Amino acid sequence: MTVITRFAPSPTGYLHVGGARTALFSWLYARKTQGEFVLRIEDTDRERSTEASVQAILDGMSWLGLDHDRGPIYQTDRFDRYNEVIQQLLEEGKAYRCYHSQAELDDMREQQKARGDKPRYDGSCRNLAEYPEDQPHVIRFRNPIEGSVYIDDLVRGQIEISNSELDDLIIARTDGTPTYNFTVVVDDWDMGITHVIRGDDHINNTPKQINILRALGAEVPKYAHVPMILGDDGKRLSKRHGAVGVMQYRDDGYLPQALLNYLVRLGWSHGDQEIFNVDEMIELFSLEGINRAPSAFNTEKLNWLNQHYMKTLPTSEVAQHLDWHLKEQGIEVSDKSVLEVLIPLFSERCETLKQLASQMRYMFEDVSEFNANAAKKHLKVSAAAPLKLLKEKMQSLNEWSAENIESAIEQTMTELEIGMGKIGMPLRVAITGAGQSPAMNILCSVLGKGICNQRIELALEFIEQRRLQSEQR
Which 403-432 residues touch RNA, going by CB under 7 A? 406, 409, 420-421, 424-425, 428
When asked if residue 145 is in the footprint of RNA (CB under 7 A), the reply is no
Residue 152 or 464: the one with the smaller Cβ distance to RNA is 152
Residue 304 or 324: the one with the smaller Cβ distance to RNA is 304
Residue 75 or 194: the one with the smaller Cβ distance to RNA is 75
When asked if residue 113 is in the footprint of RNA (CB under 7 A), the reply is yes
Rounded Cα distance between 22 and 24, Å, is 5
Measured at the CA of 186, the angle between CA 208 and CA 165, to 5 degrees, comes to 5
Residue 135 or 334: the one with the smaller Cβ distance to RNA is 135
Rounded Cα distance between 5 and 353, Å, is 33
Residue 342 and residue 446 in contact, taking contact as beta carbons nearer than 8 Å:
yes
Binding positions for RNA, 244-273, rule CB under 7 A: 265-269, 271-272
When asked if residue 168 is in the footprint of RNA (CB under 7 A), the reply is no
Q: CB under 7 A: which stretch of 50-58, 97-105, 187-195, 328-336 binds RNA?
A: 97-105
Of 50, 83, 174, 277, the one binding RNA (CB under 7 A) is 174
Binding positions for RNA, 427-466, rule CB under 7 A: 428, 435-441
Residue 157 or 217: the one with the smaller Cβ distance to RNA is 157
Binding positions for RNA, 19-48, rule CB under 7 A: 42-45, 48
Rg (CA), the chain: 32
At closest approach, how far in Å is the CB of 6 from RNA? 12
Rounded Cα distance between 171 and 186, Å, is 11
Q: What are phi and psi of 226, to 5 degrees?
A: -95, 145
When asked if residue 165 is in the footprint of RNA (CB under 7 A), the reply is yes
At closest approach, how far in Å is the CB of 110 from RNA? 11
Q: How far is CA 60 from CA 16, 28, 299, in A?
A: 9, 16, 19
Would you call 473 exposed, middle or buried from its count of C-beta atoms within 10 A (0-12, 13-18, 19+)?
A: exposed
Binding track over 290-329 against RNA, x by CB under 7 A: -xxxxxx-x-xx-xx--xx--x------------------
Of 37, 141, 180, 309, the one binding RNA (CB under 7 A) is 180
When asked if residue 54 is in the footprint of RNA (CB under 7 A), the reply is no
In a 3-state reduction of DSSP, which class is residue 36?
strand
Residue 64 or 431: the one with the smaller Cβ distance to RNA is 431
When asked if residue 289 is in the footprint of RNA (CB under 7 A), the reply is yes
Measured at the CA of 170, the angle between CA 98 and CA 40, to 5 degrees, comes to 150
* Residue 222 bridge partners (DSSP): 195
Of 10, 143, 306, 355, the one binding RNA (CB under 7 A) is 10
- Nearest one of 468, 361, 381 to 422, comparing CA atoms: 381
Rounded Cα distance between 236 and 238, Å, is 6
When asked if residue 376 is in the footprint of RNA (CB under 7 A), the reply is no
Neighbouring CB atoms inside 10 A of 292's CB total: 13
Residues 6+ apart with CB under 8 A from 131: 96, 97, 137
Categorise residue 176: left if φ over 0, alpha if ψ from -120 to 50, beta otherwise.
Answer: left
At closest approach, how far in Å is the CB of 438 from RNA? 5
Query: Residue 238 gets which letter from DSSP?
Result: B
Q: How many residues bind RNA (CB under 7 A)?
A: 89
Residue 175 or 332: the one with the smaller Cβ distance to RNA is 175
